[in-house]
Structure 1
């Protein structure tokens, strides 16, 4: 609760101050007139306070969204309800942290029967955890001399993730069970399938699915149906260190990795696999354990929103060793990372090699757009030649590292330069489905 004077009260006090001062200067024995004016003003303000609806009788509530996706604003409904008579109008204000923008930040509402509703649009500015740091409502007394204010705070974070609705729409359109494996049950075949049942052979079915022995017994063509093998463990491991957090025109590599990782997690959960999220920089930051079922996706979504940008160098030894220690069975580990120098690349290769002794590693490599641009740029000045030679040398070092990872047996998804997040997500899903078809996990 907070009480303070309005502009009217301040103007009223100032209006009487000058005449009272002039009277006191002209006739010192009338100095008490100034004190009387101050007491009159204070008395009117006290009367206004006693006549006004007290803040204790106000119920101020807001219903923030469970989560927000970037570029998808959401409404924040606010309700004011007085127990008993209330003021005619009130002002409502919302304070948010730097990851959100509130529009409008302050507005006036009219109350009817002591109740009013307001709506504020929350616009996510940056991925992370948004917070409503304060919710204020204030109203004047019947004389208009004092403001009475009620403040509420909601400590619950609002996860701000990549555009989740777009991820879900894309997954439903392109990566639903029918889109991934075909409309017919016999299309769910491959080295990762289990025999499910027999069915009459129909035109368009794979001839290899025909069971000739059963066909001879039934005097008609009979085909085998297969059920796709499920319950694999898929771990999305994201490097959140300095190189991944560097800003870029399409968003940082970290944002692209989280977007593609969420798409993979959503498709994997829909296909019956178990999914875990792990993030690390100099230390492990996020570890979800494996979860199953499409209903577990909001948990992955909230944890992904908690992966913050970091200025620390990535410790591959600590991060990947910690991850390996938390896996109790063979899993598909999808690693999103980047490297800049041979030393960090050597440490990364060493620890990935240890991880591959037990698990299948799918490595997502981000190309360096600046290096490619410098290496491909037409030289105009002598310095341009030097830059191109150095950039070409660094690019060759990256190719050497990629070659070593492939020789170790890691499967690579090479994120093309200037490709969008959708392209990366499609390439990642294709690699994941190829792993399932070949039963490599």
Structure 2
């Protein structure tokens, strides 16, 4: 293939020959002009062929990769492409490292010169805009000749075969981690790691300690005080080793966008915060992602590796445009969890999805487990439901639609509560915090 230079040389030479013919008048003649143009064209064509043959063959180049293989959504990382010249000629050309657009690769093209037997490393910075697996697509090599009149370039099939495979796994953003210190502090109070320990339903005896001003006198252990010749009180802690099952609905309702992210991503964020707090409370955390089949499953994981296992399982999940089989959800939970567990179902409060699918199987599920339905809603609905004094017909219709949607959510919530299911319905910005607060409230009252 040729560059722009041969065309420029031919055009420039033709112009010069034309000017020379005008200056010489009839002495040069039309035949002379055509002959000169033909000689120029043949010379340039021969130069292009010679230049292309002198270029380093792209097939002699070997490629390899190193660098980041995983990132959190919103972070940046680098991947290095090592280009080694195995030919006996210098490689003077351009390397195009193409990724899927959502990988946020920059730069994608770089000019390099590699001496024979040497190698260079080209660094590409990745700032992904979507979670999941973001693959490298193709590395295309273009080798220029010494005069840069022509170049040799790898064909598509050859480039695909030469491209070293690389896949960047992008984990969910976990934006709610900012709430984690607050929730852990509340958990420490609940667990009795500070002075204020409580006794309530579902708690177990922990230890004895000296009485301090402010302690409940009803917690004084008189026999222990007599043995120690000092006033001591009993301390209690919530029961540990409870079971928590986070169920992600990956059906069609999870594809709806709440603010600037899909509902599924908001559910993942809330599940990660909830699981992180529950693991610190020494509760066992399992994960299920279900629509018409089980998309992901994490069970019996040690708390030291729980977060990594969860984000690894969540990263490739995508909403499926199908109705969720809640019968399958109930069956999987009942099959996997023999003992009583807290089941947190992240789904949407939609009458069509829950009325026909979830409500028929709820009695069977709620009879054995504590069920919480967690749904995120768009605060824009509440704003649209309010009418201003100067509202026109379009605003009135929008408000009526928003009010109807909110009323349907309330009816679905009421129906779920009648079946003994607790509902957490919160806007996206505080959804993860509200779900974890509900878990801590259940743990405080001993209702897990």
TM-score range (shorter-chain normalised) is 0.7 to 0.9
By how many angstroms is 1:409 displaced? Answer: 1.7
Residue in structure 2 matched with residue 94 of structure 1 by the alignment: 97
Structure 1 residues 54, 377: CA separation in 2 closer, same or farther (over 3 Å shift)?
closer
Does the Cα contact within 8 Å between 1:84 and 1:114 map onto a contact in 2? no
Cα distance between partner residues in 2 of 1:286 and 1:366: 21
1:399 partnered with 2:410: yes
1:304 partnered with 2:314: yes
Residue in structure 2 matched with residue 133 of structure 1 by the alignment: 137
Residue in structure 1 matched with residue 446 of structure 2 by the alignment: 439
Residue in structure 2 matched with residue 171 of structure 1 by the alignment: 180
Structure 1 residues 155, 65: CA separation in 2 closer, same or farther (over 3 Å shift)?
closer
By how many angstroms is 1:435 displaced? Answer: 1.9
1:162-200 residue CA offsets vs partner (Å, 9 max, x unmatched) = x23x44453245426547646427638654444333333
Residue in structure 2 matched with residue 284 of structure 1 by the alignment: 294
Does the Cα contact within 8 Å between 1:141 and 1:148 map onto a contact in 2? no
The number of residues matched between the two structures is 423
1:211 partnered with 2:221: yes
Structure 1 residues 41, 169: CA separation in 2 closer, same or farther (over 3 Å shift)?
same
By how many angstroms is 1:116 displaced? Answer: 3.2
Unaligned runs of 5+ in 2: 18-30
Residue in structure 2 matched with residue 429 of structure 1 by the alignment: 436
Cα distance between partner residues in 2 of 1:188 and 1:109: 68
1:154 partnered with 2:162: no
Of 33-42 and 132-141, deviating more is 33-42
Cα distance between partner residues in 1 of 2:145 and 2:302: 56
Unaligned runs of 5+ in 1: none
Equivalent residues in 2 for 1:6-405, closer than 5 Å: 41-46=48-53, 48-49=54-55, 52=56, 56=60, 58-69=62-73, 71-81=74-84, 87=90, 91-109=94-112, 114-136=118-140, 138-140=142-144, 144=148, 145-147=150-152, 151-161=162-172, 163-164=173-174, 166-172=175-181, 174-175=183-184, 178=188, 181=191, 183-184=193-194, 187=197, 190-203=200-213, 205-341=215-351, 344-367=354-377, 369=379, 372-378=382-388, 380-381=391-392, 391-405=402-416
Structure 1 residues 108, 269: CA separation in 2 closer, same or farther (over 3 Å shift)?
farther
By how many angstroms is 1:223 displaced? Answer: 2.9
Q: Which has the larger radius of gyration?
A: 2
Residue in structure 1 matched with residue 26 of structure 2 by the alignment: none
Secondary structure of the corresponding residue to residue 319 of structure 2: coil
Cα distance between partner residues in 2 of 1:259 and 1:83: 48
Structure 1 residues 68, 15: CA separation in 2 closer, same or farther (over 3 Å shift)?
farther
1:376-396 residue CA offsets vs partner (Å, 9 max, x unmatched) = 324745676666556545533
Does the Cα contact within 8 Å between 1:87 and 1:141 map onto a contact in 2? no
Structure 1 residues 230, 142: CA separation in 2 closer, same or farther (over 3 Å shift)?
farther
Of 233-242 and 110-119, deviating more is 110-119
Cα distance between partner residues in 2 of 1:139 and 1:190: 76
Secondary structure of the corresponding residue to residue 258 of structure 2: coil
By how many angstroms is 1:334 displaced? Answer: 0.6
Cα distance between partner residues in 2 of 1:75 and 1:408: 51
Residue in structure 1 matched with residue 419 of structure 2 by the alignment: 408
**Alignment root-mean-square deviation, CA:** 4.0
Secondary structure of the corresponding residue to residue 269 of structure 1: helix
TM-score, normalised to structure 1, is 0.78
By how many angstroms is 1:432 displaced? Answer: 0.8
TM-score, normalised to structure 2, is 0.77
Cα distance between partner residues in 1 of 2:151 and 2:392: 71
Cα distance between partner residues in 2 of 1:426 and 1:74: 29
Does the Cα contact within 8 Å between 2:206 and 2:235 map onto a contact in 1? yes
Secondary structure of the corresponding residue to residue 376 of structure 1: coil
Structure 1 residues 339, 114: CA separation in 2 closer, same or farther (over 3 Å shift)?
same
Cα distance between partner residues in 1 of 2:209 and 2:112: 66
Cα distance between partner residues in 2 of 1:5 and 1:184: 76
Structure 1 residues 194, 147: CA separation in 2 closer, same or farther (over 3 Å shift)?
farther
